[in-house]
Chain A
Amino acid sequence: DAGVIQSPRHEVTEMGQEVTLRCKPISGHDYLFWYRQTMMRGLELLIYFNNNVPIDDSGMPEDRFSAKMPNASFSTLKIQPSEPRDSAVYFCASRMDRGTYNEQFFGPGTRLTVL
């Protein structure tokens, strides 16, 4: 299996622009998570889906952030409009629903820089 795939790996944009981050989870995984990593705040859970349905989006910082999962193999995280404080590494992770320990498989991340 290719693992969790994220694109792009790096994104540089200007303040006010729309940014879309993409994720393909591991096939057969039921859960998908979006995280943001910064030096100051560490790793923060933004939102997670179970069977394509958003379960908890309480970590989404504000209305500028939105996430969708139109099918089991694709999810997007959109920031509109972007701001310099959104600069971070964004990770997508997925896992199976198998009733045991919670191993999440992480993608390589998208490094976002907003100028």
Chain B
Amino acid sequence: GEDVEQSLFLSVREGDSSVINCTYTDSSSTYLYWYKQEPGAGLQLLTYIFSNMDMKQDQRLTVLLNKKDKHLSLRIADTQTGDSAIYFCAESIGYSTLTFGKGTMLLVSP
């Protein structure tokens, strides 16, 4: 079955690193994604990782994938107040659709 789980809330101080975790259940996922939703806006793709990769780095973002444990994480280095948002983990099993987690609200305090 398809199910993506995330913790609901994370609070960090500006300048610290943030780590948002996600677990998924379908081992046939081809791509895994992190989307960001700012207040009053739609979701925007932040980064993605192909299922045959273990890690992907993109500036302040690091994505780690552990296929054995079906665990995905997003690390944001030097977190800024502008990073405060809801972060969604999503998996793409077939070709067409995505299954999203419920989202993790990241609050960055000065």
Binding site for B on A (CB under 8 A): 4, 31, 33, 42-43, 45, 48, 50, 55-56, 91, 93, 101-109
Contacts and interface: CB of A to CB of B under 8 A. Distances in A.
B7 interface: no
A42 B101 CA distance: 7
B52 interface: no
Contacts of B50: 101
Contacts, number: 53
B42 A107 contact: yes
A104 B98 contact: yes
Given A42-B102, A42-B103, A102 B96 contact: yes
A79 to B, nearest CB: 20
B43 interface: yes
Interface in B26-84: 31, 33, 40-45, 48, 50
B41 to A, nearest CB: 6
B23 interface: no
B87 interface: no
B100 A108 contact: no
B43 A91 contact: yes
B35 to A, nearest CB: 8
A91 B42 contact: yes
24 contacts: A4-B42, A42-B101, A42-B102, A42-B103, A43-B43, A43-B88, A45-B98, A45-B99, A48-B97, A50-B96, A55-B96, A101-B31, A101-B48, A102-B31, A102-B96, A102-B97, A104-B45, A104-B98, A106-B42, A106-B43, A107-B42, A108-B40, A109-B41, A109-B42
